[in-house]
Amino acid sequence: MRLRLAGAVLLSAAAYYVYLPLPSGVSEPWKLMMLDALFRSFMQASDVAHAMGVCHRVHLLNRVVSWVEVIEARSSPAVNVTDSALGGIPTRVFHPIRGERLKRGVIYFHGGGWALGSGRMRSYDHLCRKMAEDLDAVVMSVDYRLAPEAVFPDQYHDAIAASRAFLSTEVLEHYSIDPERVCVSGDSAGGNLAAAVAQKLSSDDTLKVKFKAQALIYPVLQALDFHTPSYQQNQAVPILYRPVMARFWLQYLGGNTSLEPLLLANNHSSLDESGISAETRSKLNWTALLPAERRKHFRPVLKETGSPGVVGEVPGLTDVRASPLLAEQGVLGRTPKAYVMTCEFDVLRDDGLMYARRLQDAGVTVTSDHYEDGFHGCMVFAYLPMMSSVGRRSMNNYIRWLDQNL
């Protein structure tokens, strides 16, 4: 009897921990709850280890990720998989064995808040392997340096170095890649790097080969407004909570974590912050850039007085290399045709939607692919054990767009 009672108590406690009220309409809520419970457990354990001085919270998380997810390079009858380097940056290469002599080419940057993950993770290995096979494309998944050891602009410089090498005559010829069919892509923080790469290299007239497409998957693109409608609507929706995104930004930009409450309150972008011009503010003015169905009933949080000096302390907050949404229209207009995926239940939804709008206003052909039941990170959860239905749909549509536009 006591054993049964203890079991019932433990089961109730587990159910209480796992259960999380989610918005109606989110895809397969119980799967998302289980995934979130797992992530929360790892995050809480890492916070405890960090507080006790055992190790940095990011190091523990990455050890867990590596133990669970990172796999060796394994070739198949259809795709040859090897670990190599691009511009000195570790890269996993997926090369289809059969197909046309000249292949398409995709360079891919993984997500993880510039601090977590690897292109060698099982989820990215599955994605890139499928891309290589379905598209008859050489796919190169880049392992750029990570925070906290590396901070901006280190990750950006790695992405630029790898991309320049990818577009070089030597690499294109070695892998038989068609220079007219090359794309830069990435998800979340990797989408940020892909957008920054597209801007920088599209404006470099010394390059003989340039990207013909950019494919951005729920990208993070700005750190000045943590009260866009999607940040307000989805602040407590897994798997990317609003405070976690602010922490990722501070880690990336080398800012003190004590600034997190200021970012979450938009104190860092108050009107008395002289480091932010009116022109800069216009580039992320969601009241003008978002359609009414995304603005909904939400109101801007723009403070007259806040914490002036934060931008001076963390200059990366207004650096276009870190926040591609802040780019000049002339720079955006030189970038290649774009695919921008967004998810309704994602704090980063409006970053992507505003960027798609600004690209369109600059004359760029844009495909905006929005998932009303999607959540942040869904595309890389298309396989077991999560096997998300919206993940599978979004992945297939992403690959279909590449097939039709590359």
195-223 residues labelled b (16+ CB within 10 A) or e (exposed): bbbbbbbbbeeeeebbbbbbbbbbbbbbb
Average pLDDT over residues 73-78: 96
Q: Please state, in angstroms and rounded to a whole number, the distance separating the CA atoms of residues 364 and 383.
A: 33
pLDDT at 383: 87
Give the strand pairing for 103-109 and 89-96.
unpaired
Is the pLDDT confidence value at 5 over 50?
no
The band of 148, judged by pLDDT with boundaries at 50, 70 and 90, is: very high
CA 278 – CA 260 distance, rounded (Å)? 24
Among candidate residues 255, 248, 265, the one with its CA nearest the CA of residue 311? 255
- Helix 389-405 vs helix 122-135: angle between axes, to the nearest 10 degrees? 40
Token pair in block for residue 329: 């229209």
pLDDT at 16: 42
Average pLDDT over residues 331-353: 98
Indicate which residues carry an active-site annotation: 188, 346, 376
Q: What pLDDT does residue 11 have? A: 37
Q: Is 80 exceeded by the pLDDT of residue 103? A: yes
Confidence check: pLDDT of 13 > 50: no
Residues 150-173 have pLDDT tens digits of 999 999 999 999 999 999 999 999
CA distance 44 to 16: 16
Give the per-residue pLDDT at 385. 81
Q: With bands split at pLDDT 50, 70 and 90, how would you rate the model's confidence at 56?
A: confident
Summarised one tens digit per residue, pLDDT across range 173-218 is: 999 999 999 999 999 999 999 999 999 999 999 999 999 999 999 9
Q: What is the mean pLDDT of residues 363-372?
A: 98
CA distance 360 to 364: 5
For residue range 210-245, what is the model confidence (pLDDT) as tens digits? 999 999 999 999 999 999 999 999 999 999 999 999
User: Sorting pLDDT into bands at 50, 70 and 90, what band is 342?
Assistant: very high
Token pair listed for 77: 């009858």
What number is the average pLDDT over the span 307-316? 95
> Both tokens of residue 369?
């692919």
Q: Is the pLDDT of residue 91 over 50?
A: yes
pLDDT-derived band of residue 255, with 50, 70 and 90 as boundaries?
A: very high
The pLDDT of residue 4:
52
What pLDDT does residue 293 have?
95
Amino acid at 143: D
- Torsion angle of C-alpha atoms 253, 259, 265, 271, degrees rounded to 10: -70
CB proximity list for 178: less than 8 A, separation 6 or greater: 102, 103, 104, 105
How confident is the model at residue 12, as a pLDDT?
36
pLDDT of residue 250: 98
The phi and psi torsions of 213 (rounded to 5 degrees) equal -155, 155
Beta-bridge partners for 182: 105
Domains and CATH numbers, the chain: 74-406 (3.40.50.1820)
Residue 319 in this model has a pLDDT that exceeds 50: yes
Q: Is 327 helix (H, G, I), strand (E, B) or coil?
A: coil
Query: pLDDT of 121-142, one tens digit each?
Result: 999 999 999 999 999 999 999 9
Q: Angle 360-363-368 (CA atoms, 0-180°, nearest 5)?
A: 30
**Cα–Cα distance measured from residue 91 to residue 85, given in angstroms and rounded to the nearest whole number:** 5
Residue 372 clears pLDDT 80, i.e. is over it? yes
- CA 85 to chain centroid, in Å, comes to 22
